[in-house]
A = this chain, B = another copy of it.
């Protein structure tokens, strides 16, 4: 069974990327993936600081996130773009999870993972400047990031007001089908 960990990198209550992750999770489940959707607001972390880490070790929430990453085979991430790059919340989460802990390499939660990355933005670029940065960060940690990505421009008018469904879901469906299929194929191997 393919276990996929999903989250949005915006914790704002009405965030476009929250809407997108919900739609994507539904589509992934429909495609046969077993998804755990978490809310990063439930895992508050201080800004990473080496002195803090040395004094207190890994914060409890970083340990919980590490455990979650390790229990899953794949990641499904939806993130806003802030100033052409990755939001601090997402980068901070990735960095804490990548720290060595109790003698285990910080790469362990990432290695042999598959990832699908998405971005929603109200503008016409749809996060296209952030996605290459996120891809590079995940690649450097050993994550196999699928070549497809879902970039949703004009996101404030992209969802049906009543149902919350995407008006044009084809590219999203194609991405999550690829996520489930690739993760399954590599897990069997």
Contacts and interface: CB of A to CB of B under 8 A. Distances in A.
A137 B188 contact: no
Interface size class of A (residues with CB under 8 A): 35 or more
Interface stretch (A30-38, A66-74, A143-151, A163-171): A143-151
Contacts of A83: 91, 94-95, 98, 137, 140-141
A58 to B, nearest CB: 15
Interface in A71-99: 82-89, 91-92, 94-95, 98
A114 to B, nearest CB: 9
Interface string A115-144: 000000000110011001101111111111
A12 to B, nearest CB: 4
A119 to B, nearest CB: 13
A95 B87 contact: yes
| 7 pairs of A and B residues whose beta carbons are closest in the complex | A185-B189, A88-B92, A84-B140, A12-B50, A88-B88, A139-B147, A88-B91
Interface of A: 10-13, 15, 47-51, 82-89, 91-92, 94-95, 98, 124-125, 128-129, 132-133, 135-148, 153, 181-182, 184-186, 188-189
